[in-house]
Structure 1
Amino acid sequence: MLDKLKAFFNERSQFFKQTYNRVLPFGDTVVDRWEKAKLLGFGANTSIYDSSLVLGEVSVANDTWIGPNTVLDGSGGGLTIGAHCSISAGVQIYTHDTVRRSLTGGQARIEQAPTAIGDHCYIGPNSIIVKGVKIGDNVVVGANSLVTRDVADNTVVYGTPAKVIGSSLKYQESE
């Protein structure tokens, strides 16, 4: 059986290398990203890599791409992601944290708050969005950002913690 799995993986890896010039982890060579999105109840034409972790109530609209090695945590009140978004590799989005619970030796409750991302948003690689944050429509979050506050529509934010650095209107023009 192990030899058959290895042979299967090698065949799939060669296919992805020749067709798309990429080599993927085992799960991502076997699981269809669009079928996984359908299984999770996500919108039409949305895809999510097998390496992504999905917890609790997560709702994703149409035409959204969710990259590899992401964490979508809807266990603390629900996570919603709009249409036509790109959630880059390594992004983590949370709806709960255990800071107070840990620091009180388990006496405090786990803190929870819903988190939402609007339509037409780009969340850069390895960014983290903490519980309770609401990101508006047409927002760009730069790579490696820590988003701890709400972000208005048509905004570009970047940094740790993320700060407004401009408008996203320039990105909305078609070429």
Structure 2
Amino acid sequence: MPFDKRSKIEYNVYLSNANGISIGYNCRINENVFIQQAVIGNNVLIAPNVAILSVSHNHENLEIPIVDQGDTEPNPPIIKDGVWLGRNVVVMPGITIGEGAIVGAGAVVTKDVAPFTVVGGVPAKLIKSRK
């Protein structure tokens, strides 16, 4: 994982599986961030209390309690260069957040985010283009 003098990782950042995490240059990761697995580009801002998830729970069989069905296969999100994830954002497994995108505070990202767009809400929806 590259690290340069411009990068900053605050207190209480939890990396669930460091083998599945890549973090680019000049990134800011604020306090209380949880990252299961992810590919994070350069110049990325991650605000406090963000959760970046790579697995979920299987839940297809109604005859078996969800807790006993195990986890899905890891599917790390990809966060491209220049992205800003606002406070309390949740990024679901397998999501790609395009270059220069902004995800507003409190959003839950369940679908890919196009480059240079602003999204927000639960689930996250397009607010506007940055271009």
Matched pairs, number: 125
Deviation at 1:102, TM superposition (A): 9.5
Does structure 1 residue 165 correspond to structure 2 residue 127?
yes
Kept in 2: contact 1:101–1:107 (CA 8 A): no
Kept in 2: contact 1:157–1:163 (CA 8 A): yes
Give structure 1 stretches of 5+ with no counterpart: 1-40, 170-175
> Hey, what's the Cα distance between the residues in 2 that align with 1:164 and 1:88?
20
How does 1:105-144 map onto structure 2 within 5 Å?
105=65, 108-111=69-72, 112-144=74-106
Kept in 2: contact 1:120–1:137 (CA 8 A): yes
Kept in 1: contact 2:58–2:69 (CA 8 A): no
**Counterpart for residue 38 of structure 1:** none
| Residue range with higher mean Cα deviation, 83-92 or 44-53 | 44-53
> Hey, what's the Cα distance between the residues in 2 that align with 1:128 and 1:102?
26
* Higher RCO (C-alpha 8 Å, min separation 6): 2
Alpha-carbon RMSD:
1.8
Deviation at 1:50, TM superposition (A): 2.6
> Hey, what's the Cα distance between the residues in 2 that align with 1:126 and 1:135?
16
Kept in 2: contact 1:113–1:131 (CA 8 A): yes
Kept in 2: contact 1:142–1:159 (CA 8 A): yes
The 1:98/1:167 distance shift into structure 2, 3 A limit, reads: same
1:55 to 4, 13, 16: 16
Task: Give the residue type in structure 2 aligned to 1:58.
Answer: I
Deviation at 1:48, TM superposition (A): 1.0
2:57 to 88, 95, 98: 98
**Counterpart for residue 32 of structure 2:** 69
How does 1:11-50 map onto structure 2 within 5 Å?
41-44=1-4, 45-50=6-11
Task: Give the residue type in structure 1 aligned to 2:130.
Answer: S
| Structure with bigger gyration radius | 1
Aligned-partner SS, 2:88: coil
**Counterpart for residue 28 of structure 1:** none
Task: Give the residue type in structure 2 aligned to 1:94.
Answer: L
> Hey, what's the Cα distance between the residues in 1 that align with 2:25 and 2:44?
9
Aligned-partner SS, 1:165: strand
- Taking structure 2 as the reference length, what is the TM-score of the superposition? 0.87
Does structure 1 residue 87 correspond to structure 2 residue 32?
no
Aligned-partner SS, 1:97: coil
Q: Kindly provide the CA deviation profile for residues 134-172 of structure 1, in whole angstroms up to 9, marking residues without a partner as x.
A: 111000000000000001111110000000011123xxx
Kept in 2: contact 1:143–1:158 (CA 8 A): yes
> Hey, what's the Cα distance between the residues in 1 that align with 2:34 and 2:61?
21
Kept in 2: contact 1:67–1:88 (CA 8 A): yes
